[in-house]
Copies of this chain bind each other. A is one copy, B any other.
Amino acid sequence: MLTKVTIKLIQSLKDKKNRQLHGLFLVEGTKAVMELLASKIVVKTLFATGEWISLHKVLLKDNCELEIVNEKELKQLSNQVTPQPVIALAFIPNYDITEIDFSKGFSIALDEIQDPGNLGTIIRIADWYGIKNIICSKNCADVYNPKVIQSTMGSFLRVNVFYENLSAFFSAHNKIPVYGALMNGKNLHQTKINSDGILLIGNEGSGISDELLTFVTHPITIPKIGEAESLNASIAAAIICDAWARG
């Protein structure tokens, strides 16, 4: 039986400040939850219907609490229009950015990406291309926002997302090529993107901020044939990551 305190805690996790206060976040749906259970992230409690538990029993770890809930209770806990039969309450992991050598491999930096769907989609793109690290400015959407988690389709488990002061970050990594997606850069189709480097994507409306533009060593532009004024931030990220993968 769900207590009022638990319901209130779960519902409070819609807000970033409560997720940070409790160090907890939610993952919904069978596929994402099964991947979560197989990952290094520690699950505190699984809320699931009796039917779901009996179907997935053999796969469950024995070190997390299990709470059997009914459909009505799931609706109270869920952030989705159609609640899934399972919701996991998990501890926010603490990755150490100083352990990562950004001079090897390709990373993505995001300057004020505010739309949760865009952030989630970019994490999924990174996972498709095997890009392990995303460095977000502090005013980006929060990766543990339920909408971000949902739109990553499980990819949040395989991509580290850090929140940093990007000016300080780029200053500290000033030997690494920084590719900036701009409107007046070099034609992407005529640019070979280095296997080691950082792709910087700017805000949905205003692009890369002036402060960060100074760190861009390779301004690049996706060639336009038609008339649209711009491309969505996640679309630009995808096209440039694909160009990087072409080598």
CA distance A124 to B231 in the complex (A): 7
Question: What does the 1/0 interface line of A123-167 toward B look like (CB < 8 Å)?
Answer: 011111111000000000000000000000111001000000000
Residues 192 to 227 of chain A near chain B (Cβ within 8 Å): 222-227
CB distance from A110 to the nearest CB of B (A): 16
Say yes or no for A57: interface residue by CB 8 A criterion. Answer: no
- CB distance A228 to B117 under 8 Å? no
CA distance A225 to B125 in the complex (A): 10
Residues 222 to 247 of chain A near chain B (Cβ within 8 Å): 222-232, 234-235, 238-239, 242-243, 245-246
- CB distance B230 to A153 under 8 Å? yes
Q: How many residues of A contact B (CB 8 A)?
A: 35
Q: Chain B: which residue is nearest A243 at the CB level?
A: B242
Say yes or no for A22: interface residue by CB 8 A criterion. Answer: no
CB < 8 Å neighbour of A226 from B129, B224, B228, B246:
B129
- CB distance A158 to B128 under 8 Å? no
CB distance from A210 to the nearest CB of B (A): 23
CB < 8 Å neighbour of A223 from B121, B228, B245:
B245
CA distance A232 to B234 in the complex (A): 10
Given known A-B contacts A126-B226, A131-B226, A238 and B246 have beta carbons under 8 A apart: no
A222 contacts which chain B residues (CB < 8 A)? 128, 242
- CB distance A124 to B232 under 8 Å? yes
Say yes or no for A44: interface residue by CB 8 A criterion. Answer: no
CB distance from A114 to the nearest CB of B (A): 14
CB distance from A72 to the nearest CB of B (A): 27
Given known A-B contacts A128-B225, A129-B226, A227-B158, A235 and B121 have beta carbons under 8 A apart: yes
CB < 8 Å neighbour of A246 from B127, B130, B189, B224:
B189
CA distance A84 to B89 in the complex (A): 38
- CB distance B121 to A155 under 8 Å? no
Q: Chain B: which residue is nearest A235 at the CB level?
A: B238
Given known A-B contacts A129-B226, A231-B125, A189 and B239 have beta carbons under 8 A apart: no
Question: What does the 1/0 interface line of A45-75 toward B look like (CB < 8 Å)?
Answer: 0000000000000000000000000000000
**Shortest Cβ-Cβ A-B pairs, 5 listed:** A130-B226, A130-B225, A127-B228, A128-B228, A235-B238
